[in-house]
Amino acid sequence: MSLDAFSHRAVNIYAKSKGIKTVHLFHGIQSIYNYNSPKPFGNSNIVKRVWQNKSHLLKGVIFFWPMYLKSLYLTHSNFVDYKEFFKNLFTRIMGKMDIIAPKSSKADLAFVYINADVEYAVKRYSYNKINVIPIGNPDIVEKLPKLNYFQKPIKNKKLVTYLDTSLFNYGYCFKNISDFQSHLLDLNTFLKKINYQFSVKLHPMSEDSNLIKKIKSEGIKIVNNSELFKVLSESNLVLVEPSSLVALPMILELPIGLVKWGKVKSISDYGKLLENYPRSYSINCYQDIRDTLNTFNTVNNLSVWKNNSLGPFDVSSKDIVNRSLKNLII
């Protein structure tokens, strides 16, 4: 479970007070964003964030924040712990992130998806490296069991694909869904001019019926989960926001474009995984897309990079349990 949620952290506090070991299962790939920045997802509008998250905010006021404060009180926590809570709460409301996570977010063991996330867990949560265990990316290991991790894509059409992470739903970069819609339509207009087709994989939170209807009417293909691998295989370039799905085009050794133009330009730096990928390009304007499509920068062998960064690919549940038990006993 994520230990960013106050309710989860309250459980962690109770468990530690009783001497019960806990394990932090990280949610998604973390090294896709710049965790050395307090604003890894770009600029945000405080009023909009509060309005869009009003139901969650109300639950926080009524349930989650009192639950967390109660856990501090019943476990006889000190003043520093209370101060940390209010500081963390203020940081979240401001649309920022604590570079060093609160100590109540740290469990005894950490499960991360990929090897590249070990550094993130160590630096942000102060884990000992031996207690951070890469368990594999379930989106790949479980949902796509027949995928050949090192298969070369076959590009038989002029196609650009966009991986969305629903920034507007969290109050980042875009003012609203219409703003995001314009972002996609303007990009589609440019791609048509250079004779490229355009497809979009929407985040589940972005799947608004009016948005889908409008962009479909402009000839943009909406990609569903079952056809994602096929569409990526046919793409000449994959444009990405900070999304865990980026592991798929990397496995296929496709060029990826880091979206940094227009409303998304406030994300000046992405995470190390994306910035250090050998076929990664910063896209600061439409011309950068054209230049990237005209650049045939192939890398002879990415197998080592993929194993070191995106692996492990062959970890069994038995191995994970055995290593976890061994570490907990130690």
Domain annotation for the chain: domains and CATH numbers: 6-136+312-329 (no CATH), 159-309 (3.40.50.2000)
Q: What is the pLDDT of residue 149?
A: 45
User: Could you tell me which of 278, 186, 200 has the C-alpha nearest to residue 241?
Assistant: 200
Q: What is the pLDDT of residue 142?
A: 58
Ramachandran quadrant class, 319 (left: phi over 0; alpha: psi -120 to 50; beta: rest): alpha
Those residues with Cβ within 8 angstroms of residue 255's Cβ, 6 or more apart along the chain or in another chain:
236, 237, 238, 279, 280, 281, 292, 295, 297
Spatial contact of 324 and 133, defined as CB atoms under 8 Å apart: yes
Q: What is the pLDDT of residue 297?
A: 65
The whole-model pTM stands at 0.84
Distance CA 166, CA 5 (A): 19
Weakly modelled stretches of the chain, pLDDT under 70: 1, 48, 52, 139, 141-156, 296-298, 300, 329-330
Those residues with Cβ within 8 angstroms of residue 133's Cβ, 6 or more apart along the chain or in another chain:
109, 110, 111, 112, 320, 323, 324, 327
pLDDT tens digits, residue range 124-167?
999 999 999 998 887 676 555 445 544 555 555 799 999 999 88
Provide the 10 A C-beta neighbour count for residue 123. 14
Spatial contact of 191 and 198, defined as CB atoms under 8 Å apart: yes
Q: What is the pLDDT of residue 150?
A: 45
**Sign of the torsion angle spanned by Cα atoms 249, 251, 255, 260:** positive
Distance CA 122, CA 128 (A): 6
Tokens standing for 260?
């940094």
Q: What is the pLDDT of residue 284?
A: 95
Residue-wise DSSP of 210-242: HHHHHHHHTTPEEPPGGGHHHHHHT-SEEEE-S
Q: What is the pLDDT of residue 221?
A: 95
Tally of residues, the chain: 330
Spatial contact of 39 and 95, defined as CB atoms under 8 Å apart: yes
